[in-house]
Amino acid sequence: MSWPTSKNEACVTAATSKGTETIGMPWLELCITRLPKTLDENKTLTALTFISSIGLIHNGDYVSFPMLAKLLDDLPISQVWLQKLQILSPLLLLNSPKVYRLHDSVPHKVPISQPKLDKPTAALPRKWNPFPENSDPEQQDEPEEQVIERVATTTLI
């Protein structure tokens, strides 16, 4: 099985930059520093692709399990050794193929940017105003008196 020969071919992800923080695959930087420097470039790339597959599973993204099993067979460093390097946890993530979770110290959650919506301002409670057309008390006129006249009723028999 042949694997990509460059890092650009192996992992394609949408990454945005916010100041000094890069959002994309947050586990890569820590895993690169923890992997042994004695691994050559292709073996490092294979190990990082395997680790990235686990990170993608953690984030609920699709990963082909048959391809993950092939990648596991080509892995240049055992999962037990990755556990000793504190890249993988001793907790099982998948049973078939047998894959372990990322270590708790390895960041794996990709922050989801949500569109910023203006928060609706809370409506202030209204006070009852008997004169809605004119709310200033100095400009209000005195209410007019209503006179109700009694009308005599007649009955027809």
Residue 77 lies in a domain: yes
| 19-73 residue pLDDT tens | 445 567 888 888 999 999 999 999 999 999 999 999 999 888 899 999 999 999 9
Burial (CB count <10 Å: 0-12, 13-18, 19+), residue 69: middle
Residue 150 lies in a domain: no
Helices 41-58 and 27-34, packing angle to 10 deg: 140
For residue 1, how many C-alpha atoms fall within 13 Å in the half-sphere facing its CB? Answer: 12
Residue 113 lies in a domain: no
The reported pLDDT for the residue numbered 70 is 92
Residue 9 lies in a domain: no
Domain of residue 59, residue span: 25-102
Residue 133 lies in a domain: no
The pTM of the full predicted model, rounded to 2 decimals, is 0.58
How many structural domains is the chain composed of? 1
For 68, left (φ over 0), alpha (ψ -120 to 50), or beta?
A: alpha
Residue 129 lies in a domain: no
Distance CA 33, CA 27 (A): 10
Residue 54 lies in a domain: yes
